[in-house]
Structure 1
Amino acid sequence: MRDWTPDQVAEAAGARLVEPGDRTSGPTRAVIDSRQAGSGDLFVGLPGERVDGGRFADAVLGAGAWGVLVGEGWGGVEDPTDGGGAVLVAQDPLAALQRLATAWRRELGAQVIGVTGSTGKTSTKDLLAAMVDQQRRVIATPLNLNTEIGLPLTVLSAPAGTEVLVLEMAMRGAGQIAELAAIAEPDVGIVVNVGPVHLELLGSVEAIAAAKAELLDGLKPGGTAIVPAGEPLLEGHRTRDDVSWVTFGPGGDVDALPEGLEITAGGDRLSAHMRANALAALAAARAIGVEPTGRLEVALSELRGQRVDVGRGIVVIDDCYNANPMSMRAALDDLAASEVDPPARRVAVLGDMLELGPGERRFHEEIGAHARVVGVDLLVTVGPLAEAMGPAFGGEVRAVATAADAVALLPGLLQDGDTVLVKGSRGVGLEVVAQGLTA
């Protein structure tokens, strides 16, 4: 947006420019946290449950920000006598932010790849960004900026000359991915998988599949839809004949990584479920004309399965960003496949899986049984729901109520050489467990 004038920024956002200040060019990015707003930034004052961000507009302008985009009630923040930052006013600042992102996406002319799925969308995004980065200038979703607020902020952070945008798309209900697709106008869409996530809100895996398929419905004509081979939940959504359909995984169009492509994550070879995600990423890379080659080291986003050697031969698998039955099974499979020399115990610290609806106890019992089947030696459950894993596991179990309790318990339980998986839903806060073990 740097080459735009304040008038062009306002027009793109569908806002009124009530004060151009002394700005003759546009901002470099948009932010919603007033503490992050520096020179060159457009601060968007979003109304919140407790505080309307517009109240910070005056301070942001005083600190030298490029300008502010605020709601109608904050249009008086400008001071025409001292110049300074621009002031844009919109009835709905969030909608204005989203319109601005769509306008910048079109101005960039970049190819846009949307990534969604019940689990693995972040690692797929990381893999895809690394593949594309070999040949093209790429910007990918950082951290968890994958919502109706985060996605436009990601788009607006892309500098001129960006050739590919890899955008993660999250949802908790119907219609939310459709909203993100309308903002991003994706050329390629990946549905990594469909599983029992947010059942409490959506009610069935069929409804979850429909919500994920909104990305496929939102593709630009001539685009590419990438889906798991043989996924029956998505068959009814393969209705468009104006896009190309590509499947990945066993029996799919992309079923193996090519010779000469060696991918590692954090220095380790890809786990089984990461290899599946890599096939989805490869299909998307090929859809935009990129064929990755050679050695590719992928930097995974935080709390998504990083392996950390904490001493005494103990390795912590920090996968505590979130959890659902599908991702929990995959993580346990990877724990079981961990190669340790000499062989040592496999320890699973598993927290509650939230938002699973009426069947939540059954899902937790099934995870306990799966932990037994794959050979976990010690299970530590965290939270009242996770406690149901214990009887189904049937082996050595410790049950605690909170993450803080687990932090206190684990040092006395672990032995030299243990491999320790830490995983649970975000609301359980198991990051303190991983941090405590890696400190």
Structure 2
Amino acid sequence: MIRLTFKELLAATGAREVRPHHGEPMVGVSTDSRSVRPGELFVALSGPNFDGTRFAPGAAAAGAAALLVREGGMLDLEALPPGIGVAVHDDPLRALGDLAAWHRSRLKAPVIAITGSCGKTSTKNILAQLLQQAGETVASPGSFNNAIGVPLTLFLADEDTDFVVVEVGTSGPGEIAALCRIARPDVGLVTNVGASHLLGLGSVDGVAEEKSALPASLSDTGLLIVNDDCRYSKLMRSRNRGRTIGFSVDGDGASDLDATDVLFHSGGTSFRLDGVEVASPLLGTHNVQNLLAALAVCDGLSVPRAKVLPAVQRLAGARRRMERHELGELTVFDDSYNSNPSSALAAVRVLEGLFGYRRRVLVLGDMLELGELAAELHHQVGMEAARAGLEVVVAVGELAKAAAAGALEGGMPPEAVHHLERAEDAARVVPDLVRHGDAVLVKASRALALERVVDALIARHRREAC
């Protein structure tokens, strides 16, 4: 974890001291006054409609060693506990990034940055679990992938860290380039490019251009990992000046890592890689791609496969990302954390590959930030659900009406397709709709809170088990 003096804070950020700091160097950085720990630096972030300076006294009372607040913010210096240093900056968020860039320059560990339209967090979690077999690994908590999350991730690393894994997200042009200037990655991984954040990026080509900022940020000695199954892999390769490793599940042998003989079963997925059978508890072709991406990073960093492959069988998925719940004779897959067309289609393929269940039920919520293409893209997912032979589709939300229409147009019978307006409606209806022996997959953008459906199914199971 970052350790720094008040003087180093001022030098790294250009902040101005308004109250001297007395005491030990600061250890750790927090932007949340509710969770600040003794000895940390508290950075009071501000926005157009709020001033985080008002939370600074609470952070000081919780034990913060120093405060970095907005220039001109209202703060009673005399009321602060003794010894707490205070610095001011006209843009605390920029100061946070500058401090992270300064700390990054001190790290000896390679920094791996991951971006993509979907699979970022899952791949990050897989990679962190594999790299942990070879050394001390710091990885982004949750989905810390923006101008706040990337710095906070870097602050967790120190001289004892062997690997740093950061997730790099975007919602508009230039954001990935800005995050890469902070993280200065040694390894860049682009999981895929698809229809995501179209409101900010305009088109899938715009998404690809934004994602290509990651390979463009790598130095001549850097390493790029690309998904050769993605139609934009050539663009990513063209932006990289260093070495590139590609991966694929097509099985044509053209990539550096090529999965063959991919099989899906109730316990997960298996495939062959360079003649060796690999078994993973994670479901779906998309998770084979995620695992290949992580293994490619390990190869590029000269981490022996013999050291990491045994850990593959013990991989744990992220919460609410294809998280599996066995509820008696009902199987529920909670993939409610986020959604876009690529990941929704991947969810359909997961259900398509399941056998031995009475019915396969897709609960699909709105996919957000798709702009003018929203109706068309939802419709495509519904059509694909019908083509895959799913027995039941429950569409939740205004945009998801188009998915229900697509499922009907694709040939599903009307009694198998349901549309509900809100998550609370789905949480009430779905438990009565499903039957013993069904497999249910819940997929939606985070804002819909469709985890309520999963929670309702779990609650019903617990009541029945009593």
TM-score range, shorter chain: over 0.9
Residue 104 of structure 1 corresponds to 103
- Which of 351, 376, 381 in structure 2 is aligned with 1:367? 381
Tell me the distance in 1 between the aligned counterparts of 2:79 and 2:455: 50
Q: For residue 97 of structure 1, what is the amino acid of its counterpart?
A: L
Change over 3 Å in CA distance of 1:100–1:406 after alignment to 2: same
Q: Secondary structure at the match of 1:293?
A: helix
Worse-superposed segment, 229-238 or 245-254 = 229-238
Q: For 1:81 and 1:215, how far apart are their aligned partners in 2? A: 43
Cα displacement string for residues 383-413 of structure 1 (whole angstroms, at most 9, x for unaligned residues): 1221122233232111110000001101211
Provide the rounded CA distance (Å) in 1 between the counterparts of 2:392 and 2:13: 55
Q: How does 1:139-218 map to 2 (within 5 A)?
A: 139-218=138-217
Q: 1:173 to 1:236 in 2, by over 3 A?
A: same
Q: Which residue of 1 aligns with 2:371?
A: 357
* Structure 2 equivalent of residue 320 of structure 1: 336
Alpha-carbon distance in 2 for matches of 1:77, 1:186: 40
Length-normalised TM-score, structure 1: 0.93
CA RMSD of aligned residues (A): 2.0
Give 1:10's aligned amino acid.
Answer: L
Q: Name the structure 2 match of 1:383.
A: 397
1:246-278 superposed Cα distances (whole Å, 9 cap, x missing partner): 2111331111345667453xxx34421100111
Deviations 1:267-323 (A, max 9, x none): x34421100111111111221221223243222222111001123x11111001111
Partner of 1:253: 256
CA distance in 2, matches of 1:194, 1:230: 10
CA deviation string 1:410-435 (max 9, x = no partner): 12111001110000122222121122
* Aligned equivalents of 2:131, 2:193: Cα separation in 1: 25
* Residue in 1 that maps onto 2:290: 277
Displacement of 1:104: 1.3
Aligned residues: 432
1:293 equivalent in structure 2: 309
The 8 Å contact of residues 23 and 86 in structure 1, kept in 2 or not, is answered as: no
One-letter identity of the residue aligned with 2:457: L
Task: Tell me, yes or no, if the aligned pair for 1:118 and 1:192 is still in contact at 8 Å.
Answer: yes
Partner of 1:238: 237
**Distance (Å, rounded) in 2 between the aligned partners of 1:55 and 1:241:** 44
Judge conservation of contact 1:261–1:293 (CA < 8 Å) in 2.
no
Q: What's the TM-score once normalised by structure 2's chain length?
A: 0.88
Q: Report the alpha carbon displacement of residue 21 of structure 1 after superposing the two structures with TM.
A: 2.9
Bigger RCO (CA 8 Å, 6+ sep): 1
Whichever residue aligns with residue 6 of structure 1, its letter is F
* Amino-acid identity (%): 39
Distance 1:336 1:170, change over 3 A: same
Deviates more, 1:199-208 or 1:108-117: 199-208
Give ranges in structure 2 of 5+ residues lacking alignment: 260-272, 460-466
| Counterpart secondary structure, 1:10 | helix
Moved more, 207-216 or 419-428: 419-428
Partner of 2:345: helix, strand, or coil? helix
Q: Which residue of 2 aligns with 1:436?
A: 456
Q: Contact (CA 8 Å) 2:333, 2:442: kept in 1 or not? A: yes
Checking the alignment, whether the CA contact within 8 Å between 1:188 and 1:226 is kept in structure 2 is yes
Residue type of the alignment partner of 2:353: A
CA 1:391–1:64 in 2, change beyond 3 Å: closer, same or farther?
closer
What corresponds to 2:322 in structure 1? 305
